Each structure stands twice: as structure tokens, then as C-alpha cells.
Amino acid sequence: MKLSDLRNNDTSWRIVVLNGPNTKAAIDSIGNFNELLHGWADELGVEIDHFQSNHEGKILEYIHANVPTANGFLVNPGGLTSVGESLRHALKDSFRPTSVVHFHNAELGEPSIFSPSVTCISSGLDYFSYLSGLISLVLALDDMDFLNPEGNSATNRSHGTPKSLFV
């Protein structure tokens, strides 16, 4: 099975992949991380733009510069998981769907400040958490009733804001 077989749409979404502080060593240990990301993106028929920084301010500037052309964000906040309030706000204020990823479930040992304001979280699958998050984001963007920017149903969340199940 090819990843493209999962899709019901051929729109080439632009997904910005952001990796925060303390993620570089894990990414470098994979060796071919960028090749994997771009390979998955090619198979899905989407565009990936990858950025990693240990400086939150640089990540914020990157988000602001890319909002006009990004359809969604795939983010590993790394060391900002429980303290990156400005990153959380920048992502929420982008009005783009955001999928947060973590290599290991242990990274969720502390409460994540991102949980209430992101579309989904993929965790515990090592680098395959990125594949899980990417597929989830792309399929949700393809879905007219969920995240597709052209969707207009009552359940559409193309503006990126999650809908509470409890309200």
C-alpha cells in the first residue's frame, strides 16, 4: 500500500514541520530524518518545510513568516512542551491546524500546555510519531467536514481551533 492510497484528495497541502529545543540530538540520531520526512511527503503528495531551532524566538518568527502559505503545522515542541506559552499562542493565532508530535510517551510526563489548543497529538512511536502526525493532518485537511479550508459544514475546523466535546 502506498501512502497516497489513503487520500481522497490530490491537493498538495503545505505542512510546516517545526522542531523545538532539545530535539536536534534525537533528529540527528535518525541520520536521514529529512529524507524520511520528504519521502513521506512525496508519497502523500504534499509539501514539507522543516525548521529546527533551540531558540523559541526564531521558531516564532518562522511561524509568522510562513502562516500565509502554510496549510498546517506539525510540531515537536521538545523542551517547550510545558513552558512554551508564546509558541502555543503563535500556533493558535495562526488559525492553522496543528499536530503535535513526541518521540516518546515519557515526554508527556509533564502536562503539555499545547493539548487544549492543538488539533491532535501523536506520541510514543519514536520518529514514526511524525508519520502518524503527518498522515492525520493531511487526511483531516482532505476532509471537507473537518479541516479542509473550503469546507463549510458545522463541524469544519479549518480555522485550526479544536471543538470541545464537552461544551
Q: Name the least confident of 46-55, 104-113, 126-135.
A: 104-113
C-alpha to C-alpha distance for 49 and 84, rounded to whole angstroms: 21
pLDDT of residue 128: 94
Q: Is the dihedral of CA 17, 18, 22, 28 positive or negative?
A: positive
Amino acid identity of residue 21, one-letter, is P
Reported confidence tier of residue 98, pLDDT bands at 50, 70, 90: very high
Question: Which of 153, 137, 144 minimizes the C-alpha distance to 6?
Answer: 137
Q: Name the least confident of 7-11, 106-110, 127-131, 139-143.
A: 106-110
3-class SS string, 96-132:
CCEEEEECCHHHHCCCCCCHHHCCEEEECCCCHHHHH
H or E element: which one contains 47? strand 47-52
Mean pLDDT of the chain: 90
The ranges assigned to domains in the chain are: 13-142
pLDDT of residue 69: 97
> Which numeric CATH code is attached to 13-142?
3.40.50.9100
pLDDT of residue 156 exceeding 60, the answer is yes
pLDDT of residue 166: 40
pLDDT of residue 32 exceeding 70, the answer is yes
pLDDT of residue 40: 97
